[in-house]
Every structure is written in C-alpha cells, then in structure tokens.
Structure 1
C-alpha cells in the first residue's frame, strides 16, 4: 500500500512514570533505521508490533534526544568549502 508523505508519520510517546519510549512509525526510512538497531542491539531496541504499513518499537526513553542546531561561522564555512574543493580537485586528477 502506498502512503502519502503526510501519512508517513512517526510518533514517539513516553511519560515520566515509565522508563521506555514507544515509537510508532509508517516511515520506511525510520523503519529501516530502527530495524537495524533491533538487529544490532536486541536487548535495548524491540519491535513490539507490526502491520503491513507500520511498526511499533520500544526503547529506553533516554535514547530520545533533543539537540541544538549546529552553528557554523561564515569563516569556518568558507574553510570547509575550500577544503572540499581541494579534495574534489585531487579526486578528479
């Protein structure tokens, strides 16, 4: 079944009283990432339900993170741009 981009949602649910978070997703990319984590770390990540269009996972809520956006100065951005240009020139030579 083909889902619209709007229908390809991911919902993360947890509360203060419990130690685990529940992740419900219909996004194929998120499913692939979480399936890989379930395979690599089965004692931590668990697939607790699935249908033909979605999956539900359980994981410790401490692995849900919030991050600040990375800030790069204009000078640093120019340095990175020059470095990448040099790397690409070496590859093309």
Structure 2
C-alpha cells in the first residue's frame, strides 16, 4: 500500500434524481468526523458503508439531509470593516498576494 498524494485524496458526493440516498466518499478528516458524528446521532439517516486502509470512508445517507452551501465573495465594504475590526482589537495584519479568480 503506497501513500496517496493530496491530489488523489478526493471527495465525491453522488446522488441521482431517482433515489432517496446520497453516497459520500471522502478522505477529508473534517468531513469524516462530521459524518461519523451525524451517523452516530441519526443511524436511520446515515451509515458507514465502507472504510479503506488508505483512509477513505464511504457513507450512505438520506439525501434530504444533505445540502450544498455556496458562499459569495465578501464585498469591499465587508473586507474593510473586518480589517478595521482586526486593527482595533489587536489582530496581526498579514499581507497576501491577491487571489486569482
């Protein structure tokens, strides 16, 4: 068993319009913890289907419990307000290169 690169450690969320379940395959540690917690709390809605030695898990869950949240970019006004708040409350300002959209 070889170590996988970060590129190979993917997350795949799959469902179709004909079924009521969604399948989630992931290596992401945060998502794995959230799915594990959810499946313990709601075993009728979510269950672990498979776990691999490489570190991936596959969960099957009721797709009505799954949502995708799209977050728009912050406005210049909100960024300016956040910068001002950080300066007033002693947060360190870190200069970064502008992100490429």
For Structure 1 versus Structure 2, the TM-score category normalised by the shorter chain is 0.7 to 0.9
Instruction: Provide structure 2 residue ranges, at least 5 long, that are not aligned to the other structure.
Output: 92-101
Moved more, 9-18 or 23-32: 23-32
State the 1:55 CA deviation.
1.4
In angstroms, what is the RMSD of aligned CA positions? Answer: 2.2
Match of 1:9 in 2: 10
Cα deviations by residue, 1:30-76 (Å, 9 ceiling, x for unpaired): 32232222233333221112221221101121233333332432122
Q: Using the alignment, how far apart are the partners of 1:41 and 1:3 within structure 2?
A: 31
TM-score, structure 2 normalization: 0.69
Q: Using the alignment, how far apart are the partners of 2:20 and 2:3 within structure 1?
A: 34
Higher helix share: 1
Q: Using the alignment, how far apart are the partners of 2:87 and 2:46 within structure 1?
A: 40
Match of 2:29 in 1: 28
Number of residue pairs aligned between Structure 1 and Structure 2: 89
Corresponding residue to 1:66 among 68, 77, 91 = 68
